[in-house]
Structure 1
């Protein structure tokens, strides 16, 4: 299980641009779709009737993060990727995959502004899909130190969150009622399926005082996410079956279920044990997916970043499915300009960031002027989309 990703809402087609500033403004509006990050949970597609209000809120309150997103190759590729998901039967999962493939601090900053700080994106209410299990469904006894050391998620239920490759989690128990997990998982690199991008995070859990089978991961700063774990079954040094549900600023009531085992491959002899425990929460082990925990050596962070940029360039230059050629041309120019700026700025990362931020701020000032003059056209654009839908 990895921390979930927040996809965008239903992506509009890019309108033709009458000027570079107008094109940038509309690209920024479209960029509100890019809400992917490695620590956010996906809400259902936001109602189309909210589209114009969300766009105006972002332009008013999140100009800098939005401009950075559009100017950033990875974030821009996220936007293009999300465009290809519209209308697909697996639209939600497709959007999540886009967020997984293209995730960085720029996307995270934009998400924080749009969802948490300015609440431009409404929170999805709990639909009851992942109810709190009954007390009878939980183990009668459990100690956090039963899960210390290295464990693998060898089977997972929710294909969006639980079935990634190389889910090696290393736990410590600093106190009798506490559990700290150093979690890692891999996604297939967007450049080639034989490569991986490895994600990492740390989660801290506190055991419920009354029910030993419940562990709480609360008080997280980013999006105020919190996850509750419910231990359905456990066999010392063999397996721990966890059902979880959580919430954050984007969605209340997401969930899933995973099997932790010492062995990287799920021992089939325990399949019946899983079924017996899962029946108490209305699930079947037959619906779980066995994960690949072979965990071959991954490329370095520099190689990962370089591969991502190559992919971005190839997709922007060659097109991603149904995205219009006009928008691709504009994004191609953005990427080339960004590369030129980076070359001129030099090799010092800190210096690059400072100069790029100043350039983005200048662009935002110009865009704001265009948006103020053309605000009515922006609203009409979203309204036209609604009528077409």
Structure 2
């Protein structure tokens, strides 16, 4: 897809270099539907995320990895400039206590509609460092992907884990200025992402706890960025908003441009990935995706 920075496809490569993955994917109608769904999205992120919610599987993940990244059956530009990812966001905390993230946080407000605004978002952090310190964190991620009403409505539940390495620790060497970073695969493609915590409250001085996070990342397709607010309640408390607004301004962000995330999470409708809902999609079919720039083709 031109808009998604992907170029011509080498159809022979699908069979010659990725034959096993192609056979596994297209051996059932669901795999064909998944590729067709992604093709219709033409790189539009929200659309691609819905496709993975409905048709995502390890077979699709492996096929995209093989055909796009490993053997370049679908060509992508080389030498994409990702240097902006390592440019610190203004006012990022020089030092950060990662233990302050331990526990459950709600994403209450987000900036980028492609990545930040899924319903019912919460993240749970546990220390993962081998020395018992929180210099590395495992983050549990939960959110819902809505199916458009014109397609029948409803939602898919998603639950996954991401590993974070904390850079902004005491006496640590942190030339990028980032607070923490992560890397892995999403939609079959490798990604790198830097997080910058640009504001926080520990609950003192009558300001409820919050973290204001800006992030920058990239895949083979290019760069992406956004920002969001963590709070201990599903809705950011009004008493925290002035401090969040001030921190956002100092980081070059406008809090008025953020959108409140819907964390009401109504339970009167079954998730579409519940096998009892009769959709044919179960939680075991989900891939371990991370919301970000997707590897899609047309």
Tell which deviates more after alignment, 158-167 or 252-261: 252-261
Q: Which structure 2 residues correspond to residues 1-389 of structure 1 after superposition, within 5 A?
A: 9=1, 44-47=4-7, 50-51=8-9, 54-85=10-41, 91-123=44-76, 126=80, 131-134=85-88, 136-174=90-128, 175-189=133-147, 192-208=152-168, 209-211=172-174, 214-218=179-183, 223-237=189-203, 238-248=209-219, 250-297=220-267, 299=271, 302-303=274-275, 306-308=278-280
Looking at secondary structure, tell me which structure has more helix per residue.
1
Gap change, CA 1:178 and 1:79, over 3 Å in 2: closer
Q: Secondary structure at the match of 2:197?
A: strand
Gap change, CA 1:114 and 1:224, over 3 Å in 2: same
Deviation, 1:181, is 0.9
Q: Distance in 2 between matches of 1:83 and 1:252?
A: 19
Report the equivalent of 2:289. Answer: none
Question: Deviations 1:42-67 (Å, cap 9, x if unpaired)?
Answer: x81423xx23xx32322321122223
Q: Distance in 1 between matches of 2:226 and 2:83?
A: 10
Q: Distance in 2 between matches of 1:247 and 1:100?
A: 22
Q: Secondary structure at the match of 1:167?
A: strand
Unpaired runs of at least 5, structure 2 = 204-208, 285-297
Identify the structure with bigger relative contact order (alpha carbons < 8 Å, sequence gap 6+).
Answer: 2
Contact 1:154–1:266 (Cα < 8 Å) also in 2:
yes
Q: Distance in 1 between matches of 2:80 and 2:146?
A: 31
Unpaired runs of at least 5, structure 1 = 1-8, 11-42, 311-348, 350-384
Contact 2:165–2:181 (Cα < 8 Å) also in 1:
yes
Q: Distance in 2 between matches of 1:306 and 1:98?
A: 18
Total equivalences in the alignment: 264
Q: Distance in 2 between matches of 1:161 and 1:308?
A: 26
Q: TM-score, normalised by structure 2?
A: 0.73
Q: Distance in 1 between matches of 2:114 and 2:37?
A: 17
Mark the structure with the bigger radius of gyration.
1
